Structure 1
Amino acid sequence: MAATARPPAGTPSDLVALAGMDERLARTLPQLGLRERKKIKTRIAIRAAMYRLLAQQGYESTTVEQIAEAAEVSPSTVFRYFPTKEDILLTDEFDPYLEEQLRSRPAGEDPLVSLVHVVREGLQHAQQETYAEIALRTRLILEVPALRARMTETMAATSQVLIRAIADRTGRSQGDLELRVFAAAVLGALREALVVWAERGHEDDLMDLVDEALGVLRNGLHD
């Protein structure tokens, strides 16, 4: 289904609240320097501006120029932080959080156990703080072909985060085929859980779907 100018579900205040999650995640990374914190604040401002516009006029009617004006930056600054309009919606500050939390898990713990714990914790926190953002993202991914295509590309960056952290924990090479397949499988399972959640109108419990998806990796298919 093609995207329309229909404003997304949720109130404008719900949608603008997405910046709060970014800020909380940034605060979990005390090692960040002033320059990196400023970059995060700029990304937050751009993303918040986009969500305000989405609440008013929908995805297709929102342009990068409008986003830049609302965020009080230049269009070139927007593109410096987000190569495409789709990236503004799809990217956040979760990858650094994911890597740090994964590295903090007990040494010798099974990688899948570590990932399940970290992903569950991150998603539960995100659901509590920015449910409207997650629901909006997943609904638009179903409606906008460009978002679906770009999601696949952005997941490659997250895959590299997982590979790097797990390689350091296990002593494997980052080029190890099994490790790369493992990371791709985990992210594929998470993606399908989110897509099914959106297809079912966000009525199911998201964490139940995530558990079920990751369970397939652990236990395989059953009749």
Structure 2
Amino acid sequence: MTEPMTMRPLGLRERKKLKAMRHIQEVALDLFDRDGYAHVTIERIAAEAEVSPSSVYRYFGTKEMVILWDEWDPIALRAFDEGMAVQDPILALREVLSDVVTVALLQQDEHLIRRRMQYAMTEPDVWAGMHRQADEMAAELRKSMAKHTGRDPDGLEVRVVTAALVAAFMEAILYWHETGYRDSMREIVDGALDVIARGLRVE
């Protein structure tokens, strides 16, 4: 893989945008914790964050995406695309996780990640949004895989591989939450990818 995407400098405009989005997300989580997710509107989030409601909609689109937004998602997709140019999908994804997830957990407050996870796992709208997000991720992975392998992005083989990778990641995240975050996220996702790589074997 080329120079890690996580280490590439951002322009001033992008840094300002990320700073604003992080602030809005943290303010929203504070409101959700205090008053409950269902009782907090975009307008209240905007007022508390001292931005306009249109800014919140422009940055996130929906209330559930205020929780689900993660600045590392597009970085991970670009890194996966780079990795697919030189290795198979599972190795590429494993390298992305080693780079992106590790750096993300080092640079972000893990408590913030767990707060977001709590709403993703307990609020129906956020849960549904997370699965829509997973579908969008799978579509992007299919494009990348097809580009580097010459296969049809809508063909069965590419669909099955990307669906398996995304499902493994989603199940790993769910397991991480259900087990009280006792193990590292990277270890759990690595274990899920191991299962995909070797298949389910009955001893």
The structure-2 alpha-carbon separation of the partners of 1:29 and 1:175, relative to structure 1 and needing over 3 Å to count, comes to farther
Aligned length: 198
> What do you get for the CA RMSD once the two structures are aligned?
2.7
Following superposition, the deviation at residue 28 of structure 1 comes to 4.5
Percent identical among aligned pairs is: 36
Q: Is 1:94 paired with 2:69? A: no
The structure-2 alpha-carbon separation of the partners of 1:41 and 1:180, relative to structure 1 and needing over 3 Å to count, comes to farther
More contact order relative to length (CA 8 Å, sep ≥ 6) = 1
Partner in structure 1 of residue 120 of structure 2: 141
Question: Normalising by the residue count of structure 1, what TM-score does the alignment of the two structures yield?
Answer: 0.75
Partner in structure 1 of residue 47 of structure 2: 69
CA contact (8 A) 1:26 1:40 kept: no
CA contact (8 A) 2:42 2:56 kept: yes
Q: Deviations over 1:10-49 (max 9, x none)?
A: xxxxxxxxxxxxxxx997455x766655544443332232
Following superposition, the deviation at residue 132 of structure 1 comes to 1.2
Partner in structure 1 of residue 200 of structure 2: 221
Partner in structure 2 of residue 16 of structure 1: none
Say which of 157, 161, 182 aligns to 1:182: 161
| Larger displacement relative to structure 2 (93-102 or 103-112) | 103-112
CA contact (8 A) 1:91 1:154 kept: no
Distance 1:62 1:161 in 2: 32
Q: Deviations over 1:144-183 (max 9, x none)?
A: 1221111111112222332222222223333333222212
Taking the TM superposition and a 5 Å limit, the aligned residue runs for 1:118-157 are: 118-128=96-106, 129-157=108-136
Partner in structure 1 of residue 137 of structure 2: 158
Specify every segment of 5 or more residues in structure 1 that has no aligned partner in the other structure, as ranges.
1-24
Distance 1:205 1:99 in 2: 22
Specify every segment of 5 or more residues in structure 2 that has no aligned partner in the other structure, as ranges.
none
Say which of 182, 197, 201 aligns to 1:203: 182
Counterpart amino acid of 2:68?
Answer: L
